[in-house]
Chain A
Amino acid sequence: MLLMKVLKNDKPGIWLLGILLVISIAVPILNLLVPESSPFHISTYTVTLLGKYLTYALLAVSADLVWGYLGILTLGHAAFFALGGYVMGMYLMRQIGERGVYGDPLLPDFMVFLSWQELPWFWQGFDQFWFAALMIMLVPGILAYVFGYLAFRSRVTGVYLSIITQALTYALMLAFFRNEMGFGGNNGLTDFKDILGFDLRADSTRIALFLASAVALAIGYVLSRIIVSSRLGLASVAIRDAESRSRFIGYRVENIKLWVFVFSAMMAGVAGALYVPQVGIINPGEFSPLNSIELIIWVAIGGRGTLYGAVIGALLVNYSKTYFTAALPEIWLYALGAMFILVTLYLPKGIVGLQLQSLRNLRIVRMVRKIRGAKV
């Protein structure tokens, strides 16, 4: 019921969910049932790649929610993604058990290597999936809450806020690089074996992870759509366009920003948690400021403030990235930069805006024709 109501005025959203449903059915069939010799077969590699794109898309939706609707240009959103990823990584590390290189039943390999004697307190409980699942949301959420509470209360906005978010992710990266932090330092967490008892290398597990990513994207999109189409969403847009005006009307700008930011961080955390088992590694590089900036580029290219634009942008840019880095590796960064500049100059509303524009043009053309026809 609620779903129908929310999607009533959101045609692109219906398309998006429809496409997600179609690929969720088609991809497993093409992977598992169609024989490898057939041209329609989709390799497990491709399935994992698609799954990875979907988690990126979810991350992009979360960034669009705060940038597109609240006007917070966050340049550190990938930090929440990486944190969610690390939490998932910790769970996966604990699942390895005795199968590690050093065969220690309790300690992950890197701890044995650093000759630690016991499990640090913050690694406790991560052998339980429910606990890890909770932490995937809570850890990014709490960091976003503390950060947002301080930043929004002191009314830090605009470029200053962007710089602070950038510093946040950079500080986290430096911290996670340290071996003493207890998260595997430089190498991060890897060599995962299984998740919930299923072998991570098995095709069926890969398919399940892909499906989980599709479902997470669909849920994340719908929840975000519920928020932006509610009165809270109207208030967010109002804050984005005229912050002090909204304050005079009586909106607690800092609270609205804070909670939407926290929700978005949790969504990014879930995306990270689904990303890690599919790529098989999480290391401090994920906190790199560059990742967060790239994320903003996805949203900008797709079309800011539409949610589905973020999905399109994330998929498109990442597909081109995969293609370019394989075909013309030295060109990729230039191509990304060029895309960003072109979009900023000629498509301020992103690819989605282009499509809306042409539709409107068509309508105008039709109207003009009608008027002419009437005159004749």
Chain B
Amino acid sequence: MKAMQSLREFSRRDRVFDFLVQAEPPALDLSHNIILYLEGINKSFDGFKAINDLNLYIESGELRCIIGPNGAGKSTMMDIITGKTRPDTGQAWFGQRLNLLEMDEPEIAEAGIGRKFQKPTVFENLSVFQNLELAMSQDKRVWPLLMARLNGEQRDLIDEVLTTIGLNQLASDPAGKLSHGQKQWLEIGMLLMQKPALLLVDEPVAGMTHQEMDRTAELLTSLAGKHSVVVVEHDMDFVRSIARKVTVLHQGSVLAEGSMAEVQSDPRVVEVYLGE
């Protein structure tokens, strides 16, 4: 009897089988104004808990600074967001719909998360322009790449980014010849070429001169609003100069969150980080 029923269920004419439903093309859904959800994330390396029940929410369009002493789990957190490392437990969502834990590195990059590394890694043998051209969001399969020609729109985009990062004059120079600060800007420019919704910026001013630092602060604040920007930085002066909201990480979880003034007056924060 039961078998009959399930057979009837099976043969209903209006039945739609799961495998026939086309997977909805995943798109970034920002309906709740939150671009990144990290919930209950744990990750340990050989028994060392790098991330410990981390909960973090980034709003769309915000500029967030993340600070914390060495070993607080900042880089591991970035690795988890970009798909380089898988957490042991927890959830990571990009907008409402995209589950970051089910995507690999290129997919995450394609979905709109760009990462700037601590050490600037630009393609030294290619020109500044070519670096940007490669970083452009485009069809990156083999055959389309072979056939790709630079069109006017793309050229305009590259010129626009060149202006933003201030490397107009150096467009045809090999990236290997740039100064340290210029390389950092080029990296940020390469991120911008992907038109990312979320920018992860790892220690952008390490090793920069003061002028370069000011220039970088200007650049990052100008990007917020159009993009969501997460900056991990050690340099407190720099953080003070750009931060609207600061998150303090300690031993793999969030210790405090708020404006720079609030965070600085938090006794726990003072103890682990600022008071040193």
**When the two chains form their complex, are residues B134 and A249 in contact, meaning their CB atoms are under 8 A apart?**
yes
Residues in A whose Cβ lies below 8 Å from that of B190: 249
A249 touches which of B126, B135, B142, B147 (Cβ 8 Å): B135
Is residue B39 within 8 Å, beta carbon to beta carbon, of the partner chain? no
Chain B interface bracket (under 10, 10 to 19, 20 to 34, 35 or more): 20 to 34
| CB 8 Å contact bits of B103-137 with A (1 = contact, 0 = none) | 00110011000010100011111100010011101
The smallest C-beta distance from A230 to any residue of chain B, in angstroms, reads 5
The smallest C-beta distance from A226 to any residue of chain B, in angstroms, reads 8
Residues in A whose Cβ lies below 8 Å from that of B82: 248
Mark the stretch among A116-124, A232-240, A318-326 that contacts chain B: A232-240
The smallest C-beta distance from A26 to any residue of chain B, in angstroms, reads 35
Name the CB-closest residue of B to A259. B142
Name the CB-closest residue of A to B110. A250
Residues in B whose Cβ lies below 8 Å from that of A226: 146
Is residue A255 within 8 Å, beta carbon to beta carbon, of the partner chain? yes
Secondary structure dominating the interface of A: helix
The smallest C-beta distance from A15 to any residue of chain B, in angstroms, reads 23
Residues in A whose Cβ lies below 8 Å from that of B109: 248-250
**When the two chains form their complex, are residues A238 and B126 in contact, meaning their CB atoms are under 8 A apart?**
yes
Scan residues 135-174 of chain B and give those whose CB is less than 8 A from a CB of chain A.
135, 137, 140-142, 145-148
**When the two chains form their complex, are residues B106 and A251 in contact, meaning their CB atoms are under 8 A apart?**
yes
**When the two chains form their complex, are residues B134 and A231 in contact, meaning their CB atoms are under 8 A apart?**
yes
Cα distance, A247 to B148, chains bound together (Å): 19
The smallest C-beta distance from B186 to any residue of chain A, in angstroms, reads 12
Is residue A227 within 8 Å, beta carbon to beta carbon, of the partner chain? yes
Scan residues 204-234 of chain A and give those whose CB is less than 8 A from a CB of chain B.
226-227, 230-232, 234
Residues in B whose Cβ lies below 8 Å from that of A249: 109, 134-135, 190, 194
A241 touches which of B106, B124, B133 (Cβ 8 Å): B124
Q: Which residues of B contact A (CB under 8 A)?
A: 82, 105-106, 109-110, 115, 117, 121-126, 130, 133-135, 137, 140-142, 145-148, 190, 194
- 21 residue pairs from A and B, CB less than 8 Å apart: A227-B146, A230-B146, A230-B148, A231-B133, A231-B134, A231-B145, A231-B146, A235-B145, A238-B134, A241-B124, A242-B123, A245-B117, A248-B82, A248-B115, A249-B135, A249-B194, A250-B106, A252-B141, A255-B142, A256-B142, A259-B142
